[in-house]
Amino acid sequence: MKSTRLCSLFALLFTSGASAESYVIGVENLPFVPHYSIDQQGRYQGFARELFDQFASHSGVQLSYKPLPANRLLAALLEGEVDFKYPDSGNWAQTQKADKDLHYSQAVVAYVDGVLVAPPRQGQALEQLKRLGMVSGWTPWGYQQGIEAGQIQLTYSDDLRKMIRQTLKKDTDGAYFNVVVATHYLDNIRARPGALVFDPKLPHTRGNFHLSTLRHPAVLQRFDRFLLERQAEVAALKDKYRVEANLDSQYLGVEQWKVDFLKRQKAREALQ
């Protein structure tokens, strides 16, 4: 009898594990720290990984991550190679998505894309920006008119590291990228904090990253509920990785030690 009960228990556990929902999230195979990156063992990591892992634990689903080249990711979603795509936005790749019934989650994280320049160039007129550094695959929103008119020349690089290097060498007048990611790279990886700074007077784009799917809208609804019900935990995770650092303040793109100094200085002035 005892043996029978043990066999029944093992069978129940096996059946429960086998029937667990399992989904694959297609993710970008590139360094985009602190949002996400792929380590040397091919493992997805960063803010997005921890967020989705928390959702999986909260919802009882199994999630795996499939890193793919950014330009291959949408096709993988549409062809059913992956169940979800991250990051995504309804504003991206609209031609390829035409007539596709894609579903998007609520906003996962906000971002700003803009131009980083050498400090002496900050605040200069747009007309002074003649050479703009770009990472291949990116679209310089807000600069199309100047590009089409031949007033701005684009210089493409394979990755952020090479683009930043070009701008530091003054081969370009500015570098267009995600401001938080570029600033993190300069502060923590290149160890050149403040060497390039975001110029808020130049055209820049604000938006949000979303999770998208073609076939699993019900799971997205559960993910949206998770974002709502666990707002405090999600906010703490954003603070931990600083993925929205100073997005809505005058300090966007400023290294953190300088932000802290300026805030202390302003507080002292208010008391005088």
Q: Which of 79, 76, 46, 82 is nearest to 64 (CA)?
A: 82
- Averaged over successive runs of 10 residues, the pLDDT of the chain (272 residues) comes to 46 49 96 96 96 96 96 96 97 92 97 95 95 93 94 95 95 96 91 90 94 97 97 97 76 53 54 60
Second CATH level (architecture) for the domain 111-206: 3-Layer(aba) Sandwich (3.40)
Q: Which of 174, 167, 154, 178 is nearest to 28 (CA)?
A: 178
- Give percent helix, percent strand, percent coil of the chain, each to the nearest 5: 40, 25, 35
Is residue 32 within 8 A of residue 189, CB to CB? The reply is no
Q: Give the Cα separation of 88 and 49 in Å (integer).
A: 15
Please report, for the chain, the start and end positions of each structural domain, with discontinuous segments joined by +.
21-108+209-241, 111-206
pLDDT at 137: 87
Whether the domain at 21-108+209-241 and the domain at 111-206 fall into the same CATH topology: yes
pLDDT at 190: 82
Cα-trace Rg, the chain = 22
Write down the pTM of the prediction.
0.83
The structure tokens 């200069």 sit at 124
Q: Give the Cα separation of 187 and 193 in Å (integer).
A: 4
Decide if domain 21-108+209-241 falls under CATH 3.40.50.300. no
